[in-house]
Amino acid sequence: MTAGYIVGSLVGSFAIAYLCDTFVSDKKAFGGSIPKTVSDKEWLKATEAKFQAWPRTAGPPVVMNPISRQNFIVKST
């Protein structure tokens, strides 16, 4: 019976957190709008091209945003 209360409380808290997040971020509860840099695909392509064109002078070649590429360089110790 205690497990039921714990699971129910967790599910309820996640539901409340989801509703609050949706209301604040998607419905723009505090005003504002989506920036052009987020919604414009041409801007994304131009920024990506600029990042890839930057010369690197130190270390091995890596991409500017490794999280989106998922190709981390792991050095052995």
pLDDT, tens digit, 9 for 90 and up, residues 6-16: 999 999 999 99
Q: Is 16 in the same domain as 39? A: no
| DSSP type of residue 64 | S
Res 13: pLDDT: 97
**What backbone phi and psi angles, to 5 degrees, belong to 27?**
-85, -5
pLDDT, tens digit, 9 for 90 and up, residues 17-42: 999 999 998 888 888 888 888 888 89
Q: Is 15 in the same domain as 40? A: no
Query: Domain limits at 44?
Result: 34-76
Which spans in the chain are helix H? 2-21, 36-39, 41-53, 66-69
- Residue 15, amino acid: A
Q: Is 21 in the same domain as 51? A: no
Q: Is 44 in the same domain as 70? A: yes
C-alpha 67: how far from its chain's center? 9
Q: Is 2 in the same domain as 26? A: yes
Q: How many domains is the chain built from? A: 2
Mean pLDDT, the chain, rounded, equals 81
